[in-house]
Amino acid sequence: MDNLGYGEVGAYGGGILRGAATPCIDALAAEGTRLLNFNVEAQCTPSRSAIMTGRYAIRSGTHSVPFPGQLDGLTQWEITIAELLSGQGYATAQFGKWHLGSDQSRLPTSQGFDEWFGIPRTTDEAYWPSAPGFKESGVEPEHIMEGRKGEKSRNLELYDFKQRRLIDAEVTRRAVDFMKRSVRAGKPFYAYVAMTQPHAPVLPHPDFEGKTGFGNFPDVLAEMDVRVGQLLDAVDELGVRENTIFVFTSDNGPDPTFPNQGSSGPWRGYYFTHMEGSSRTPFIIRWPGKIPAGRVSNEIVHEMDTFTTFARLAGAPVPQDRPIDGVDQTDFLLGKRETSNREGILLFLADRLQAVKWRNWKLHLYDEMHNWFTPPLALGTPKLFNLILDPKEEFPVTIENTWAITPMTRMMAEFQTSMKKYPPIAPGTPDPYTPPVQRQ
């Protein structure tokens, strides 16, 4: 999902409290493992980059949502999970929001996907066609697109308010069709279904408008649950339930702006911050007979870990010529061990390291009180929080627990050493990209 907060679906404390029951997603949680400490990046583009590459987005030149008109997305040098799975004989497809490159050379079909349908950038641009002066501006609007590997992707409908309401229904229909074709062909499949809801503008499909009686956001939540249910039903009807890994998650925390604001649940903060409300999202994973059903864990996992884990499960070799930040969580997810294979994460906002999390401790390097329009303030003395005793990160306990900063300092130093040895790709870097000689 896109900008779905921790506190929206029933399995994470939302559901009817947010105006719409989510029975399909809740049933998925009961059938699989639900993570309470699944962490993502703070913005759409870096989060999707981390999923695709298994790397912190700051390494790939994708650490920020790009402004329209600039060269955006992943260089061809990056290796995506779709490329790894294609190499193992998987049919691969992307449906929905891409946001990792809008040039023809950087669309999904140039990054390992056999086919795709969706929007190259963001749902924000659905506002454009209705904006005063836009038609006379000469600016090219965003279109829904489709494409196949080896062919030029083509524009379909203009992405406006009408299509904004309709797109997730079509994303779901096409994803189901792709799964059907793959199963008929006897091929394993990887369907990356990147729904556009509940990103602003939060507008439900006409079939769901007014459904809850509480407004657009609950109506969209009800629609989301049905779309997930349609995908789950398709897996069952195709007879591949026992051999399909199904993941439900979000790219980052919720939007804080009315009337599109979401819920961070028990955490504080929204996306574009380093707070737990930005970095923690729902994550449910089901693989019947393999991944324990009904299991709930508060162990730290990062979305980058899915790259490494899925590569191992598919028998694909992980690249050895670059830093891969994702760790293999296979044994943890299969229930063979109770603890995650990682103890901490780094939290970036754009190209700034703003916080570090290790076990139940969180170190703020910047003040948390900022938004899109006010730059964060670097703290002279970092603030340390105990996330078990203080989940909303309100009461620093730095003086009493400076010992907990030691492993975090080590994490930061190791990452900086890695960045010196393997310099990051600058945003807007054109193809072909050749990495510089490694520094010693």
Task: Please give the Cα distance from 108 to 191 (Å, whole number).
Answer: 12
Q: How confident is the model at residue 365, as a pLDDT? A: 98
Find the helix or strand (DSSP H, E) in which 228 lies. helix 216-237
Q: How confident is the model at residue 374, as a pLDDT? A: 72
Find out whether 384 and 362 touch, Cβ atoms under 8 Å: yes
Superfamily of segment(s) 10-333: Alkaline Phosphatase, subunit A (3.40.720.10)
Is CATH 3.30.1120.10 correct for 351-421?
yes
Q: How confident is the model at residue 409, as a pLDDT? A: 98
Residue 266, SS3?
A: coil
Residue 370, SS3?
A: coil
**Tokens representing 265?**
């649940």
Task: Please give the Cα distance from 94 to 178 (Å, whole number).
Answer: 10
Find out whether 55 and 413 touch, Cβ atoms under 8 Å: no
Closest CA to 219 of 227, 229, 209: 209
Q: How confident is the model at residue 367, as a pLDDT? A: 92
Same fold, 10-333 and 351-421: no
DSSP state of 350: T
Closest CA to 342 of 306, 382, 316: 306
Find out whether 357 and 347 touch, Cβ atoms under 8 Å: yes
Closest CA to 211 of 226, 196, 201, 197: 226
Q: Where are the domains of the chain?
A: 10-333, 351-421
Q: How confident is the model at residue 368, as a pLDDT? A: 84
Phi/psi at 115 (5° precision)? -155, 160
Q: What is the pLDDT along the chain (440 residues), one digit of tens a residue?
A: 999 999 999 999 999 999 999 999 999 999 999 999 999 999 999 999 999 999 999 999 999 999 888 899 999 999 999 999 999 999 999 999 999 999 999 999 999 999 999 999 999 999 999 999 999 999 999 999 999 999 999 999 999 999 999 999 999 999 999 999 999 999 999 999 999 999 999 999 999 999 999 999 999 999 999 999 999 999 999 999 999 999 999 999 999 999 999 999 999 999 999 999 999 999 999 999 999 999 999 999 999 999 999 999 999 999 999 999 999 999 999 999 999 999 999 999 999 999 999 999 999 999 987 666 677 899 999 999 999 999 999 999 999 999 999 999 999 999 999 999 999 999 999 999 999 977 66
Find out whether 302 and 53 touch, Cβ atoms under 8 Å: no
